[in-house]
Structure formats: structure tokens, C-alpha cells
């Protein structure tokens, strides 16, 4: 009963834009150098993030899918808080923290959350199916998508290469014949690859010369449309804010607080 009401409260707060904490005390605005570390209540599960970081989105999608109550502390990656660097010297996000856990790396954190928490099962129970999912994830080279938003001269090549590499995902969807790779709901594999596709489908909104493979990869395009309609993706990030962030990032002026009230 207690857990259920905490989940509902979290969902309500996530849609409110400026705070994210079960206790409504942690602002979503990024913490920068000179800030004070917000205290974590005993028992709380905390994720250090940046609202538009695709790696941090992976465990966040798992937390949302499994309806695990959590709090988010966003980090200003251009001006990192001293307390964050003391906690985790590489200073990257995501980082998971609880009373007993301090864990970096998006895939490690995501799999840990899947294994350590009840809720919807995201990885297949069958060991061979699980291995196939991990193999597909491992084989998908998503990195070129970053060129499509960060590179001034190689963005078209990067974008085309990303979709070419995504053929294995299109083929995986065709072979499985399901709406998502995980079945009728997004599974672990869908959630782990989604943040990079999310960049891909949004990139043409501010770089009109980039064209989505609507005709050549219809199954994959349908999957991206389905993903955009899921509760997980809707709760994760506002797509317009993401586009606004990417535009500013391309100009070398990332605004981690896009869309948050001042």
C-alpha cells in the first residue's frame, strides 16, 4: 500500500516539471559547482542523471517500467559539483546510490535494477533468449548517431551510418514479429537502445537535411512510433525539450534546465 502510493506520487511529480523526489524536495535543475549535495533520506534510491543524457535514460526507463520509487539528482556536466566528483571521480552520469549501493555505468545499473527489484520482468527468463537480447544489444553500434547532432561537417554521414547499423534491429523486429523486441510491451533491449533512436528520430527536426528512413525501414519506423507512445518514454522526457537541448548543444551552449520554470 505504501509502495503503491509512493509510485503514484512519483508519477504525479515527474509530470510536474520542476521537482523530482518522493518527498518533493529535490529540484530537477542541474546541480553545479558550489552547490550543496541534497541529503538522501535513509532507504531512498537515488539516480544521478542529466535530463538529456541517453546513457542516464537507460536506468531511468527501467525505473519507470518497473515502477520503482526513486529520486533524481541532475548534474551540470559542464560545471560539476565538487561533492559529485568526490563521490564518483570520473564525474559521469548515470550513477545509482542507495544505502548499500554506489554503481556507475548505464547497462550495469539497468541490469542490477532489473535483478534487484520486483515489478515487470524486462529480461527474458529463458537463458538463451536473454543471451540473444544481450548479443543484439552488444552488436548494435549506435555511436554514429552522436555525429548527427554534434558534428558540423559529418552529420549526414553519421546519421546515415546510424540507420545502416540499425538494420540488425529492424531484422530483429521482423524475425520476432512482435510490436516491441520484448513482446507486446517494451523489454530490456527496447529500453536500452531507445535513447539513441530518440536522438535519431528527433535530429531532422533541427537539421532538415537529415531524412528518416520511412520507406526503407518501415518496421523500425513503426517501432519508433510505438516507443514514443509508451508510458515509459512519455514519462522520461518531453520530446520538444530534448530538441531544444540538442539545438543549444550543437551551438556549444548546452542548457541542462530546458523547460524547467525558473
Ligand X SMILES: N[C@@H](CCC(=O)N[C@@H](CS)C(=O)NCC(=O)O)C(=O)O
Which residue in 28, 30, 53, 60 binds ligand X (CB under 6 A)? 53
Q: Residue 46, interface with ligand X (CB under 6 A)? A: no
Q: Which stretch binds ligand X (CB under 6 A): 32-40, 48-56, 142-150, 181-189?
A: 48-56
DSSP at 27: B
Residue 243, classed as helix, strand or coil, is helix
User: Which one from 30, 53, 63, 192 is the annotated catalytic residue?
Assistant: 53
Helix (H, G, I), strand (E, B) or coil at 226: helix
Residues 16, 38: contact at Cβ < 8 Å?
A: no
Using CB under 6 A, pick the residue from 24, 32, 77, 156 that binds ligand X.
77
Shortest reach from residue 159's CB to ligand X, in Å: 19
55 binds ligand X (CB under 6 A): yes
d(CA 67, CA 207): 35
Residue 55 or 163: the one with the smaller Cβ distance to ligand X is 55
Cα angle at 126 between 121 and 132, to 5 degrees? Answer: 95
Total of residues contacting ligand X (CB under 6 A): 10
Q: Which stretch binds ligand X (CB under 6 A): 5-13, 87-95, 178-186, 189-197?
A: 87-95
CA-closest candidate to residue 120, choices 173, 196, 191: 191
- 50 binds ligand X per the rule CB under 6 A: yes
Strands of the sheet containing 95-97, edge to edge, are 71-74, 46-49, 95-97, 102-104
Region 89-148 residues binding ligand X, contact defined as CB under 6 A: 91-94, 105-106
How far apart are the C-alpha atoms of 159 and 185, rounded to whole Å?
A: 27
Q: Which three cell numbers stand for residue 219?
A: 518496421
- 150 sits near ligand X (criterion: CB under 6 A): no
CA distances from 34 to 21, 81, 83, 84, 109 (A): 21, 6, 9, 11, 28
213 vs 259, beta carbon nearer ligand X: 259
53 given a catalytic annotation: yes
- Closest separation between CB of residue 122 and ligand X, Å? 17
Q: Is 213 in the site for ligand X (CB under 6 A)?
A: no
State which residue, 44 or 103, has the beta carbon closest to ligand X: 103
For ligand X, the binding residues (CB under 6 A) are: 50, 53, 55, 77, 91-94, 105-106
The catalytic residues are: 53
Amino acid at each position: 500500500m505504501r509502495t503503491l502510493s509512493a509510485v503514484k506520487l512519483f508519477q504525479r511529480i515527474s509530470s510536474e516539471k520542476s521537482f523530482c523526489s518522493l518527498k518533493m524536495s529535490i529540484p530537477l535543475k542541474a546541480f553545479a559547482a558550489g552547490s550543496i549535495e541534497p541529503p538522501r533520506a535513509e532507504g531512498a534510491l537515488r539516480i544521478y542523471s542529466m535530463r538529456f543524457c541517453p546513457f542516464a535514460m537507460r536506468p531511468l526507463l527501467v525505473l519507470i517500467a518497473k515502477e520503482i520509487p526513486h529520486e533524481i539528482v541532475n548534474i551540470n556536466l559542464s560545471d560539476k559539483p565538487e561533492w559529485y566528483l568526490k563521490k564518483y571521480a570520473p564525474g559521469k552520469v548515470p550513477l545509482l546510490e542507495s544505502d548499500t549501493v554506489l554503481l556507475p555505468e548505464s547497462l550495469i545499473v539497468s541490469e542490477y535494477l532489473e535483478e534487484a527489484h520486483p515489478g515487470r520482468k524486462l529480461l527474458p527468463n529463458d537463458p538463451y533468449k536473454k543471451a540473444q537480447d544481450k548479443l543484439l544489444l552488444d552488436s548494435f553500434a549506435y555511436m554514429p548517431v552522436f555525429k548527427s547532432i554534434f558534428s558540423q561537417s559529418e552529420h549526414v554521414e553519421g546519421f546515415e551510418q546510424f540507420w545502416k547499423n540499425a538494420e540488425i534491429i529492424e531484422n530483429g523486429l521482423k524475425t520476432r514479429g512482435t510490436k516491441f523486441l520484448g513482446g507486446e510491451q517494451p523489454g530490456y533491449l527496447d529500453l536500452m537502445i531507445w535513447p539513441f533512436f530518440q536522438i535519431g528520430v528527433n535530429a531532422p527536426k533541427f537539421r532538415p537535411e537529415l531524412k528518416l528512413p520511412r520507406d526503407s525501414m518501415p518496421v523500425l519506423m513503426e517501432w519508433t512510433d510505438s516507443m514514443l507512445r509508451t508510458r515509459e518514454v512519455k514519462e522520461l522526457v518531453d520530446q520538444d525539450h530534448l530538441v531544444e537541448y540538442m539545438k543549444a548543444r550543437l551551438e556549444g551552449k548546452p542548457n541542462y534546465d530546458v523547460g524547467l520554470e525558473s
